[in-house]
Structure formats: structure tokens, C-alpha cells
Structure 1
């Protein structure tokens, strides 16, 4: 598979290299970042009402001193679909003075509990500013 030479393409190439089957749906986490806790919580409430019972969480990132909302979609990680989702989420986040800050995939998707809570998403790979 060929991937575009940008952050998203490189991320997909790295995932393919690590043995992830990119033709199957998996849980993709999209990160939305807000300066203000109230903005993050407002965005979360809106997402919850739109997404229903999707996996959503807010946490405070002490390194950046920003609030991060993590939205999980189960989707096939196709480049165009990821870009479209990221663009839509960025537009959404801007309504709450936030930004979309890329996406990540937890390794070991198949319910491997020890990784489930390990928010070790690779900030180096896919950071948009």
C-alpha cells in the first residue's frame, strides 16, 4: 500500500509496518485539545448528545496544561476517511475554542487489558499545529 507523504500517511505506514491490518475496522482515537476546562466539557456534552454512547473521555494534560477530549470511533483506518473525520472534528472543536490534535490507535486492539488504559498515544508522530 502506498500512503501520502504527510503525517497521516506516515502514521498509517507505521501502523501497517507494525502488523496492523488496515482493511479491518479498529478503534481510532481522535484528540481534541482545549485551553479551558469548560470548553472541553461543553464539547464533550455536545459530542455525547450527537454520538450517543461512544467512548468519550476528558483529561487534563499536565505537560501542555490543556484539556484533552478523546473521541473513539470504530472505523476502517483509510487515509481519506481519517482526514475527513479529523477535518470535521477540527471544525467542531473550533466552535469551542479548541483544535483537533491528530489521532492515534492503541496497539493490541483485541481487548488486551493491560494496554487499554495506557494513554501512551504517540504525540511525536502526528502533531498538527
Structure 2
């Protein structure tokens, strides 16, 4: 299939989405996408976490002790169809929030949902049982 650069622009987000599509991931299905913001201090992370909770975001907060310098990381979980323009909009919003709270936006990721025909047949049989 030829890449549609309107749907999958030639940048990091477009490349990830294109690779997901090429791997067989159904991008019309909602995914839980994880966006991350990193902080050097617990206090800044906690203030940002409270702000995100007030904005009705689903989050987790943990310390990454394996980083070169330990850092506090907020992960924001957004259940959505992985569409380029929506991802870019959320990245801009989370970047702004990170900067307002002394943190740094650190990217997004999600689990791929790829099923082959055998997997679907097995699932169908399980549901019939």
C-alpha cells in the first residue's frame, strides 16, 4: 500500500502511525494511548498531577530510578482512536501543561492491536463455547 501523507505525515507521529498501520493495527479502533511528562522534583510532579486530575485526566505518577538522574514521571492515559491531528493537539496541550509546571513532555506510545485471521477464529470459538 502506498503511504497517504495527509493521513500519515512525514514526521515522528506520522511515521509511528504509518508503522502501526503497516503492522496491521486497526487505527479505526480506540486505543489507550499513554502520554508522558517528566519532572526533576516530586513537588512539581504532584502539582501537575493534581492539575491533570482536575482536568479529568486518567493518570499515574511514579519515580523512574533507572534514569541517569531519578525523575518523576506522569503518564496520562487517553482512550481514543490514534488519529494524527488528535495526537498532535494533545501533544501540544501536554507540552504546555508540562512547561507551566516545570516539567518536560516526553512523548506517547500505545499497545498495538494486531490480530491475524487465526486469532479471530480462536476468539470466535471461545465466545461460542
Coarse TM-score class (shorter-chain normalised): 0.7 to 0.9
Matching of residue 62 in structure 1 with residue 58 in structure 2 = no
Q: Say which structure is richer in helix.
A: 2
- For residue 108 of structure 1, report the CA deviation from its aligned partner: 4.9
Q: Which has the larger radius of gyration?
A: 2
For these two proteins, the number of residue pairs brought into alignment is 107
Matching of residue 75 in structure 1 with residue 80 in structure 2 = yes
In structure 2, C-alpha distance between the alignment counterparts of 1:63 and 1:89, rounded to whole Å: 23
- When normalised by structure 2's length, the TM-score is 0.76
Please report the RMSD computed on the Cα atoms of aligned residues, expressed in angstroms.
1.6
Name which of structure 1's ranges 10-19 and 74-83 shifts more when overlaid on structure 2. Answer: 10-19
Partner residue of 1:7? 12
**What residue ranges of structure 2 are gaps of 5+ in the alignment?**
115-129
- When normalised by structure 1's length, the TM-score is 0.76
In structure 1, C-alpha distance between the alignment counterparts of 2:66 and 2:20, rounded to whole Å: 26
